[in-house]
């Protein structure tokens, strides 16, 4: 069955989904879910997210040059969904969605306390790409709740990260597997 080319991302799914928290130049926090998110380099550590040009998240990154990727477990799905709604600029979706702020170590933007891991980033560069803007950030601090690390690795079976398929449909990753061959 053929799928429209512009819907390819629904096939390239489920996609890792982070709540991205930022502040504007007056220090007002904002949070929104993004699933067009990917690592692009490990040394230097760089991560990319793609934002539609009208996103307040993008405006805030342009104003303050920083952002935090917050890793979301299944039980925060409703909060994540509320954060995706179109609030006026300056409204703090962290509080509006029933979550709370967590002081970050290296950036002024707060993380989200209830999340499982926090990746603090400084803007490296941005670039227009089609109908989105690529935002590439340098990872400058990463923290994770202890119980979700197993031998130093992110324990997906405990984390159960929320992954986006399309619209209101999400998948939850909870099983790991390995190739049988060496
Ligand atoms: C699961 C999910 C993933 C999303 N991923 C993206 C994305 O990768 N890029 C984007 O521009 N918008 C994405 N959106 C839409 C934004 O989250 C939404 O428009 C939000 O209101 C933007 O908030 P802001 O204007 O405060 O940045 C996504 C929405 C949901 C529910």
Q: Which CATH class is domain 17-172?
A: mainly beta
The number of CA neighbours under 13 Å toward the Cβ of 143 is: 14
Cα 32 to middle of ligand 1, angstroms: 6
pLDDT over 90, % of the chain: 88
For the chain, the structural domain boundaries read: 17-172
The C-alpha atoms of residue 3 and residue 76 are separated, in whole angstroms, by 31
pLDDT at 158: 87
Q: Is the pLDDT of residue 21 over 90?
A: yes
| DSSP one-letter code for 146 | G
Helix or strand run (H / E) with residue 33: strand 29-34
Task: Supply 89's token pair.
Answer: 């600029």
pLDDT at 174: 86
Q: Is the pLDDT of residue 26 over 90?
A: yes
Residues 82-88, mean pLDDT to the nearest whole number: 97
CB of 16 closer than 6 angstroms to any ligand 1 atom: no
Average pLDDT across the chain, whole number: 96
pLDDT at 115: 96
pLDDT over 70, % of the chain: 100
What stretches of 62-116 adopt beta strand conformation (E)? 66-71, 101-102, 111-112
The number of CA neighbours under 13 Å toward the Cβ of 119 is: 20
Q: Is the pLDDT of residue 19 over 90?
A: yes
Residues making up the chain, counted from first to last? 182
132-159 residue pLDDT tens: 999 999 999 999 998 888 888 888 888 8
- Ligand 1, atom 5, lies closest to the CA of 34
Cα dihedral 163, 49, 22, 16, rounded to 10, equals: 10
CB of 56 closer than 6 angstroms to any ligand 1 atom: yes
pLDDT at 64: 98
Give the number of other Cβ atoms within 10 Å of residue 140's Cβ. 16
pLDDT at 181: 97
C-alpha Rg value of the chain to the nearest Å: 16
């Amino acid at each position: 069955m053929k799928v429209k080319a512009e819907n390819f991302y629904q096939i390239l799914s489920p996609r890792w989904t982070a709540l991205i928290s930022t502040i504007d130049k007056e220090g007002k926090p904002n949070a929104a879910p993004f699933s067009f998110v990917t690592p692009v380099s490990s040394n230097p550590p760089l991560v990319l997210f793609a934002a539609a040009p009208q996103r307040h998240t993008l405006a805030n990154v342009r104003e303050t040059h920083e952002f935090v990727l917050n890793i979301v477990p299944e039980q925060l799905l409703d909060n994540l969904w509320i954060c995706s709604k179109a609030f006026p600029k300056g409204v703090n979706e962290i509080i509006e969605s029933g979550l709370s702020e967590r002081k970050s170590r290296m950036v002024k933007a707060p993380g989200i306390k209830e999340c499982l891991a926090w990746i603090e980033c400084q803007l490296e560069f941005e670039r227009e790409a089609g109908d989105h803007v690529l935002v590439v950030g340098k990872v400058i601090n990463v923290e994770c709740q202890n119980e979700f690390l197993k031998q130093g690795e992110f324990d997906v079976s405990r984390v159960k990260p929320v992954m986006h398929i399309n619209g209101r449909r999400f998948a939850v990753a909870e099983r790991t597997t390995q190739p049988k061959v060496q």
